[in-house]
Amino acid sequence: MTEQLLTVDNLRVSFHTRAGENQAVRSVSFRVGAGDTLGIVGESGSGKSVTAKAIMDLIAAPGEVLGGEIRFRGESLRGLPQKKWRQLRGNRIAMVFQDPMTSLNPVKTIGYQIAEVLRRHKGLGKEAALKESVNMLRKVGINEPERRVHQYPHEFSGGMRQRVMIAMALSCDPELLIADEPTTALDVTIQAQLLDLLTQLKQQSDTAIVLITHDLGVVAKVCTRVVVMYAGMVMEEGTVEDIFYRTGHPYTQGLLRSLPQRGGANRERLVPIEGSPPDLIDPEPGCPFRERCPYAFEKCGELPPMLETEGDGHRSLCWLLEGGKRTLAQALEERGEAAR
């Protein structure tokens, strides 16, 4: 059995605004085992990045973690003193942010910024830290690292800056790496290179990865397990095979149908998910996806559904699966409906 590295239980995060309490994350739970690669996927505004920032204790006012538990190797991270966080963050738990240009200091060289992490957490001297910075740039595929270590962020392309962020995050050999939309705003070729890089680095170390993305294609390439989020809640969780081939939730089905597919005359037409996500200020009871769901029925608007377990760790938040039905396709077949 895989050792549990990260445990998130019933996490709740809200942002207090003039309009009211925006419930950005609502009772989110999942596990990350040592060496696992977990993908957290969903539309913009589904609560993915807020969940990641809550794990890293980076929720700032007007945001607030209202409840739940976050544990790393069994130790609670909630209420941890900042001195302990400074030892943990960037060392045992590292994060790659969505926009590397805002994360890198524009007036410090790339080498200085990587070396600073190494000096703080590994206690290396100035010369040794700079030498290791060169090695890290080489490891993430940056050519001429001895020269480029003395350059500034604006002298690097977007893809190269993202590689620098990955090098910085991995410089202290973290046990957990959280990557928040690391391929956003990059062209397809650079995206593929970065995903290959993450896969290679994963094979070379035992670092667990939490990959946050809106792209199920990215998840299929890199991840072993998937959490599907919508309106601040977990809609479905399972292995990549569960999510792609034994789909248990209409929202997951909608995401899959919006994916471009290869193939000739037999490829399916792209089907968008009609409508918009619900307002999370005083959200209505029931399933948050019901207004956009083609299979919604009366019960969906009355009570919040339970996360029904469909198999070994495969679970879905859907009333259609009530009574032990294992997949959405089987549930629809029992109801005499075809997939829409």
Separation between Cα atoms, residue 141 and residue 150, nearest integer Å: 16
**Distance (Å, rounded) from C-alpha 60 to C-alpha 238?**
31
pLDDT score for 334:
84
* pTM of this structure: 0.91
Strand order in the sheet with 225-230: 93-96, 176-180, 208-213, 37-41, 225-230, 233-239, 315-317, 307-309
| Residues 149-178: tens digit of each pLDDT | 999 999 998 888 988 998 999 888 899 999
Per-residue pLDDT of the chain (340 residues; tens, 9 = 90+): 567 899 999 999 999 999 999 999 999 999 999 889 999 999 989 999 999 999 999 999 999 999 999 999 999 999 899 899 988 998 999 999 877 777 899 999 999 999 999 999 999 999 999 999 999 999 888 999 999 999 999 999 888 898 899 899 988 889 999 999 887 767 788 788 888 888 887 778 888 999 999 888 889 888 999 999 999 999 999 999 999 999 999 999 999 988 766 554 455 667 788 889 999 998 988 999 999 999 999 999 988 787 666 556 889 999 998 876 778 988 888 887 766 6
Q: Are 197 and 141 in contact (CB under 8 A)?
A: yes
Query: What pLDDT does 267 receive?
Result: 56
Structural domain spans, the chain: 1-92+174-245, 100-171, 246-273+285-335
CA distances from 75 to 70, 72, 179 (A): 8, 5, 22
pLDDT at 139: 87
CATH topology for the 1-92+174-245 domain: Rossmann fold (3.40.50)
- Quote the pLDDT of residue 224: 92
d(CA 110, CA 116): 10
Q: What's residue 310's pLDDT?
A: 57
Return the pLDDT at 159.
Answer: 86
